[in-house]
Amino acid sequence: MADFDLVVIGSGPAGEKGAVHAALHGKRVAVVEREPVLGGTAANTGTLPSKTLRETSLYLSGFRQRGLYGVDTHVRQETTVSDFLYRERRVKGIERERILKDLERHGVQLVYGRGELVDAHTVVVRREGEPERRLTSNVILVATGSSPYRPPLYPFGDPRVHDSDELLDLSELPRALLVVGAGVIGCEYACMFAALGIPVTLVDPKPELLPFLDDEFSALLQERMEALGVRMRLGRTVETVDVPPAAKEPIRLTLSDGEKLEVDQVLVASGRSANTAGLGLEAVGVKLGARGQVVVGPEYQTAVPGIYAVGDVIGFPALASTSMEQARIAVMHAFGLEDPNKMAPVLPYGIYTIPEVSMAGETEESLRAKDIPYVVGRAAFSTNPRGQIIGECHGLLKLLFRREDLRLLGVHVLGEQASELVHVGLVGLMTGASARLFVETCFNYPTLSEAYKTATYDALDKVRAPKGP
């Protein structure tokens, strides 16, 4: 008999969720983790640290209160790295502890060390100074995550050049920062530093920001980020980088249009690579894609029966939220626990820029591409009483309804609490709701959520007196 029913490699959100789900169904589970701390990118270098730093920069800069009480609450000039990182370290510590307790409470055995598959049912774990361990298991779940991609142009050994992991070891706040890559991570960090009053330049080869967003929201986000002080250099690439050895001399960069920039720190956020090296996957028959990511079927099974892979290691969408769901589905499938176990048909996206942006479902562009007639309802937070109270005057909720029957097809939010507010619309999308749901729902007053009603009436007005979408 195998030692375990399930061995999970990796203790990030995918690994934790998969392990606990199997344990809840009475399975004997082990989790292998190569780091001395649990939680992976989500707890230690990515999701929670970046979201905590965002709150810290909003707090230290007095951003939310600016202009609200007729008092100037601009940046505390003397903000230090330890002010900036204090809460990030606390939140990280609390999350690691929570994960440890969660695994212990469910009887999951923790094995520290680097895991490697030697056959379809055996994981060898190696840790310096300790004898090698062999864990046999009926099912193996690969949840080893991803790491920042490091383009060779940048000298990462220099303490002034960071990837998104190293940024958390800052020794001093930048006086001027260049962010390379305007993906979600690059945009989020650009906003945080800009809110602290630090000059930030954002460079990306794509001509528009986050092109997966509805065009109106991409443009609105760009406008708000520029208002925050982020200098956009879109449609451009970095061609040369000169990092002089003397720390006091500026880093000099040249962009593809010839512009020369001088900054004292650089953050490179140019995507992530799957952590598959050294796992022995290909040797046991697991197929890898062009970028090293594990190739999986609809229930996250790999090419080898009994081996599953979930989370960042399989690539897009590479979010903590989706990674956890994938792990649940893989475990259900592996042990035949429930049917059907499919991924939710609509996934939300939360982008923690300043301001936040969130969306679920269709955009205007995707509806036009599919030739689906639609009607748009908008509600500006400046006309929402709660928006007025909290000084949120640039926020916007946009709903997209199918013109034929007013079924909700898309929800887009920009502004305070956008990543929370989107869930009202998300549930509407999941349940096939129409405009009627928001007309008949009694929302708390005053709330930002009430914007759903306002946006719905705006759409209904357009249906009654059509003037285009």
| Interface residues toward ligand FAD, by CB under 6 A | 9-15, 32-35, 40-42, 46-47, 50-51, 114-115, 143-146, 164, 185, 275, 279, 311-313, 318-321, 323, 350, 352
Nearer to ligand FAD, 275 or 449 (CB): 275
Q: How far is the CB of 204 from ligand FAD (least distance, A)?
A: 16
Q: How far is the CB of 172 from ligand FAD (least distance, A)?
A: 20
Note whether 429 and 406 are within 8 A (CB): no
Nearer to ligand FAD, 154 or 452 (CB): 154
Q: How far is the CB of 39 from ligand FAD (least distance, A)?
A: 7
Instruction: Please name which of 7, 10, 4, 43 lies closest in space to residue 276, comparing C-alpha atoms.
Output: 10
Distance of CA 393 to the CA centre of its chain: 25
Alpha carbons 350 and 355: distance in angstroms, whole number: 11
Nearer to ligand FAD, 318 or 429 (CB): 318
Nearer to ligand FAD, 198 or 435 (CB): 198
Q: How far is the CB of 69 from ligand FAD (least distance, A)?
A: 30
Alpha carbons 19 and 6: distance in angstroms, whole number: 8
Q: Which helix (H) or strand (E) holds 458?
A: helix 451-464
Q: How far is the CB of 74 from ligand FAD (least distance, A)?
A: 26
Q: How far is the CB of 466 from ligand FAD (least distance, A)?
A: 38
DSSP letter (8 states) at residue 377:
E
Per-residue b or e along 53-75, where b marks 16 or more CB atoms closer than 10 Å to that residue's CB: bbebbbebbbbeeeeeeeeeeee
Residue 400, judged by CB atoms within 10 A of its CB (0-12, 13-18, 19+), counts as: buried
Q: How far is the CB of 328 from ligand FAD (least distance, A)?
A: 12
The dihedrals phi and psi of 61, each to the nearest 5 degrees, come to: -90, -5
The C-alpha R_g of the chain, in whole angstroms, comes to 24
Nearer to ligand FAD, 91 or 437 (CB): 91
Nearer to ligand FAD, 164 or 218 (CB): 164
Nearer to ligand FAD, 270 or 449 (CB): 270
Distance of CA 36 to the CA centre of its chain: 24
